[in-house]
Structure 1
Amino acid sequence: MDKFETLTGVAAPLPMINVDTDMIIPKQFLKTIKRTGLGKSLFFEMRYDDAGKEAPDFVLNKPAYRAAKILIAGANFGCGSSREHAPWALLDFGIRCVIAPSFADIFYNNSFKNGILPIKLPQEVCDKLMKAADNGANATFTVDLAAQEITMPDGGKAAFEIDSFRRHCLLNGLDDIGLTMQKKAKVDSYESARKAAQPWV
């Protein structure tokens, strides 16, 4: 998993509440077990019309937001089913940080495990960030995980809280496998001792 230290990029505003995981990545794209290739189908039903053409009014289809790295959304983002494909699709598109007043628990946990930083902020702060994100290509934000601080395009700051263990994992690029591999020497030692003591197993 890539480390998350400081992220600077355009923030796309998505002022919708209750964006569920089927909206993020519809069920017909869940057949794959690969984490790549899902970005083109992110928000599929909002990004494309019935003929498969891009909907020009959808935020991620607008030239200023095509390379967005940050998404600012409404409350209860990521509700619905527990599909891990949702953070995979966001990440494959290029989004590494989602800011919202609240998140569904499973989506929130899955985001950390896949290298995405979900930031919870009060509604009034999200409203301020949303307004700043409306500035299109000029809506460049910096998210500093070590300092736990967001810098807005006008230089204004917004502090955020995050669990210290999750912060450590993101800063060091550690998913569940990475955490386990940190104990490799102890695991190898245990396996060797067990094999010697019980060679028939």
Structure 2
Amino acid sequence: MEAFKTLTGRAAPLRMSNVDTDMIIPKQFLKTTERTGLSRGLFFELKTNADGSPNPDFVLNREEYKDANILIAGANFGCGSSREHAPWALLDQGIRCVIAPSFADIFYNNCFKNGILPIALPQPVIDKMMDEANGGNHIFTVDLENMKITLPDGEVVEFDLDGSRRHNLLEGLDDIGLTLQAEERISEFEARRKLATPWLERA
């Protein structure tokens, strides 16, 4: 998993609350277990007209936000079913950070497992960020090491994060990476078990 330390980039304002995982990635795009190519289905029903053409009014279709790597959204982001394809699709789009007043628990946890930083901030702060992102300068800096966000106007907003989750993102450790940190001890245990119970090794 790619480590997350400091992210500077465009922030796209998605002025919607209760965005569920089916809205993030509709069910017809869940047939794959690959993590690539899912950006095609990201917010499909929002960004695509009935005739299949792009909806020019959807924020991520607008030229100034096409390469956004930060998403600012409304409350209860990621609610609904517990599909891991939702953070996969965001990541495939290039979005590494989602800022919102609140998140659904399962989606929030899945973000950390896939290298996305979800940040919860009070609604008035989100409103200010939405306005800033909608202005002429959309560039934000998210500093995970110091837990600060620098807005386009220079204002600095601090955020809180669980220490273990912060450490894992900074080091690029997902569940597999965390397990491999104990690889030597696991190997030692397996060697001891093989000596103590050799019959378990028989085919």
Q: Normalising to structure 1: TM-score of the pair?
A: 0.98
- 1:160-186 residue CA offsets vs partner (Å, 9 max, x unmatched): 000000000000000000000000000
Mapped to 2, the partners of 1:33 and 1:56 lie a distance apart of 30
Equivalent residue runs for 1:129-168 within 5 Å: 129-135=129-135, 138-168=137-167
Task: Measure the CA separation in 1 of the matches of 2:50 and 2:123.
Answer: 34
Instruction: Work out the CA distance in 2 between the residues paired with 1:49 and 1:58.
Output: 10
Residue 54 of structure 2 corresponds to 54
> 2:173 aligns to what?
174
> 2:176, 2:14 → 1: CA distance?
33
How far did residue 28 of structure 1 move? Answer: 0.5
Structure 2 residue 11 is the aligned partner of structure 1 residue 11: yes
1:193 corresponds to:
192
SS at match of 1:185: helix
**Deviation, structure 1 residue 198:** 1.1
Paired with 2:25 and 2:107, the residues of 1 have a C-alpha distance of: 12
Amino acid aligned to 1:162: L
Aligned counterparts of 1:196 and 1:27: Cα–Cα separation in 2: 49
Structure 1 residue 197: deviation in Å?
1.3
Shift of 1:54: 0.5
Determine the C-alpha separation between the residues in 2 that align with 1:116 and 1:53.
Answer: 29
Which letter does structure 1 place at the counterpart of 2:97?
C
Which residue identity is paired with 1:91? Answer: L
1:23 counterpart residue number? 23
Structure 2 CA distance, aligned partners of 1:51 and 1:61? Answer: 16
Distance in 1 (CA, whole Å) between partners of 2:53 and 2:93 is: 18
CA–CA separation in structure 1 for the residues paired with 2:145 and 2:135: 26
Offset, 1:52: 1.4
2:150 is aligned with what amino acid?
Answer: T
2:153 partner SS: coil
Segments of structure 1 that go 5 or more residues without pairing to the other structure are: none
* Pairs within 5 Å for 1:60-139: 60-135=60-135, 138-139=137-138
Q: CA deviation at 1:200?
A: 1.1
SS of residue in 2 equivalent to 1:142: strand
